[in-house]
Structure 1
């Protein structure tokens, strides 16, 4: 057995899934019986195999008792994940020939009595032969059908529990929830209950989540946690709790790298803060975030960009036209950039991707472009706010600068954002179109900054082959933020020269 011990002296059995062990506060207490339940296709068998293979890797004797799948099916499933089941005992429980003979099934005793007793005896015989420390029984639905009544079913489960407790085995019972009524019998008997769920959105891939419904004598991470089934097994993404992650860092002020914008920002952005870039389509939100990332790279840091809305090839081409070679920065490892498909991603998986960049690659500037695409990954807006709140708090406490973009509906006049996260961000930069002298122009202003004073003016913004340039404060117009300005009787300001 493994030599890992808890404070009470009882060992823990790892599940073989890192994220699930995190949720369970270390793994499963040994010599106890657990229930893993979920509808067909939620990943119960895969999770069970990972649990047993973790035991095999620790030189433990492990037994898989299957009542619903054949051994060949199990080995094919394992091969699909690149696993070998060598060292794992598999007992395929098939009914004896006498029970398959219709003539011999007719007796004064109910055939279910004979079948249940025979099934139990065969399970005990397999355990006596192998003497395992980890056991999986797949699945309880077969035993439930043989028991026929809730009382007999409960007695059978209790008998299994006491039998395995005497043999100091850690047992997973799998239940596919195919019964017409949801019997909670095993919930009361099991030491812990793990539920796997699969959700089918109206569009996109299925979403899976796991919840620990019960764990006696142990604090665990409650609530739902996203997970996926990939080649190699289950990947569980524990729900992020920002309070658990705190680091010390210098809250210095960092330059945005854009002349004029630092003046608007009162000197720049504070380290460990979040910035929201808000505006209609085409105002330059993505370009602004790229420049923030490039400024971080010039300081010697690593930046990460998560792009929801734009194809990377087009983004690279646009940036190259402004003199920014994103491909080279990516090849050098200074820029971590990922194209995100909202239809294939769960919020938990996205959070795990961001944490990976921060904790393993030491990224200090995080760009999410845009929250509109992130919202498409999770339509329930109220939950989006909670997920984003935890993520921003986590990034702030890691000393990261987070840049988010939100595209507002409309081009001029009254505009609305699909989701309001302005109160979450420490700084809000507002971009606008406005019409003046027969031309469409861009304007930028800072409407919120928690960390200190900022310039209250509105500046015109120019985008051309020189990059992004800010002009002096616009004092000749009124109503620019509404997109319908009035010209005052003053001469127009001259266009500024580019600042290198």
Structure 2
């Protein structure tokens, strides 16, 4: 039995969308692109025609709702000029239909309008003979049809006509006349739905989903996308199982002897580490220690900051011997400040992937998950997004360090989102009071990839860097914040005992 040949694909010209569609739109088929006004249908349609024009294919944009000037102005707003290979056919009501004295009453005007509209479209097609066609929009045809049966017959007629001409057609539907009418869904070869979400605060969020694609596997689920100067950019949903890279699972040190001992030698390449603690305990400092160590090994690193202004972070890090600006200037460090109110989870995952794939970053810091959580209110979705992202980074051999700020200062701590089960290593930071001073303690409560110390150590951050003391085995209740001294010696660090090893 001969295998059935697969149809060629027409690329959409939209970054990321062809990956979602497994290569693009099948040539010679009719597709539906639906969404409420403002979701980006026209922008995607223009990109589809311009992609074809760049390949030497003739395109036709049939508009029943927008004028030609509006379409050209919309393209110009993205810095694009509509190619000479693209014809815009503006269908407007005949002047007689706008003149009250010329209107007739013996026949239904919808009969004449629909017939004239269809005839005009076919005549323009015969004149141009395009390979790609956009029809904008079906809402106008639905209103002219004035009935589901007549509307379905009209869509079938359009489909069969374009199929005989081997044209790839994109039908746009703004869902303004009847959003519950699924007539076209059963007729067309594929359906792409665009959605716009309006959070309580921040910019709108857009996402798309492929509802149907006959005879073709595609990437299911919702995919975030944005409209920016230049057009639409889609961010395919990350599936970690599709990405794997061979690497050596070596142990990476931090450069701080006490911290490496606490971690059982260090962090394993291709693993994730979660640093938990209340505000101000030094979570970012612990993460940056591994960044500095990676760059000293000749590797590249990427830091994504949600909560802190970069200028303040640079000054604070330099005060403890970590020169982030120098690392960035030498090209070894990518550091980026993100605005959770303007960023979708899909776009964030895309940015991380870009640094790992193109820049070969081997250490990735996300500081913090509190800010990342603010980019989407659904906590369950956050955990799923983070699960795929961590699995992807692990499979690429990248060491990932996440920070989470817990609520409270001492005593019972509340964690806004529980991702401890996702991380391979969990480091816990705490404040505790001893002899009239607020001190800091660190412990490792989980490590999947090997052994670790089960002790609690005091640590100090000074102008000489990060230093760890001996295990606090003479105290009980350190993690609760108010310990009891039960020993006979003084195990606490004094200011003169601060030392650092950045080798």
Structure 1 length-normalised TM: 0.98
Aligned to 2:488: 490
Structure 2 unaligned regions, length at least 5: none
Contact 2:207 2:224 in 1 (8 A): yes
Which of 7, 13, 32 matches 1:10?
A: 7
2:123 corresponds to 1:122: no
Aligned to 2:500: 499
Give CA-to-partner distance per residue, 1:10-61, whole Å, 9 cap, x none: 2210011131100000101000000000000000000000000000000001
Structure 1 unaligned regions, length at least 5: 1-5
2:131 corresponds to 1:133: yes
CA shift for structure 1 position 7: 7.7
The 1-side partners of 2:157 and 2:219 are apart by 30
The 2-side partners of 1:360 and 1:180 are apart by 45
- The aligned runs of 1:66-215 (5 Å cut-off) are 66-87=63-84, 88-215=86-213
Greater shift in the superposed pair: 103-112 or 262-271: 103-112
Give CA-to-partner distance per residue, 1:53-109, whole Å, 9 cap, x none: 000000001000011000000000000111111221111111222222222222311
Give CA-to-partner distance per residue, 1:130-169, whole Å, 9 cap, x none: 0000000000000001000011100110010011011110
SS in 1 for 2:466: strand
The 2-side partners of 1:499 and 1:154 are apart by 76
Aligned to 2:246: 248
The 2-side partners of 1:398 and 1:317 are apart by 32
The 1-side partners of 2:98 and 2:308 are apart by 61
CA shift for structure 1 position 181: 4.8
SS in 1 for 2:415: coil
Aligned to 2:460: 462
Structure 1 residues 383, 491: CA separation in 2 closer, same or farther (over 3 Å shift)? same
The 1-side partners of 2:259 and 2:223 are apart by 40
The 2-side partners of 1:225 and 1:257 are apart by 40
SS in 1 for 2:172: strand
Structure 2 length-normalised TM: 0.97
Aligned to 1:296: 294
- The aligned runs of 1:315-330 (5 Å cut-off) are 315-330=313-328
CA shift for structure 1 position 499: 3.3
- The aligned runs of 1:421-440 (5 Å cut-off) are 421-440=419-438
SS in 1 for 2:57: coil
The 2-side partners of 1:55 and 1:470 are apart by 62
Which of 339, 347, 350 matches 1:352?
A: 350
RMSD, matched Cα: 1.1
Greater shift in the superposed pair: 325-334 or 73-82: 325-334
The 2-side partners of 1:8 and 1:206 are apart by 42
CA shift for structure 1 position 215: 0.3
- The aligned runs of 1:411-450 (5 Å cut-off) are 411-450=409-448
SS in 2 for 1:125: helix
SS in 2 for 1:454: coil
Contact 2:464 2:498 in 1 (8 A): no
CA shift for structure 1 position 258: 1.5
SS in 1 for 2:114: helix
SS in 2 for 1:227: strand
Structure 1 residues 276, 181: CA separation in 2 closer, same or farther (over 3 Å shift)? closer
Give CA-to-partner distance per residue, 1:238-271, whole Å, 9 cap, x none: 0000000011100001111222010001111100
Aligned to 1:277: 275
Contact 2:15 2:232 in 1 (8 A): no
Structure 1 residues 7, 332: CA separation in 2 closer, same or farther (over 3 Å shift)? farther
The 2-side partners of 1:409 and 1:86 are apart by 56
The 1-side partners of 2:472 and 2:24 are apart by 61
The 2-side partners of 1:34 and 1:369 are apart by 42
Aligned to 1:43: 40
Greater shift in the superposed pair: 385-394 or 12-21: 12-21
SS in 1 for 2:102: helix
The 2-side partners of 1:372 and 1:26 are apart by 36
CA shift for structure 1 position 490: 1.2
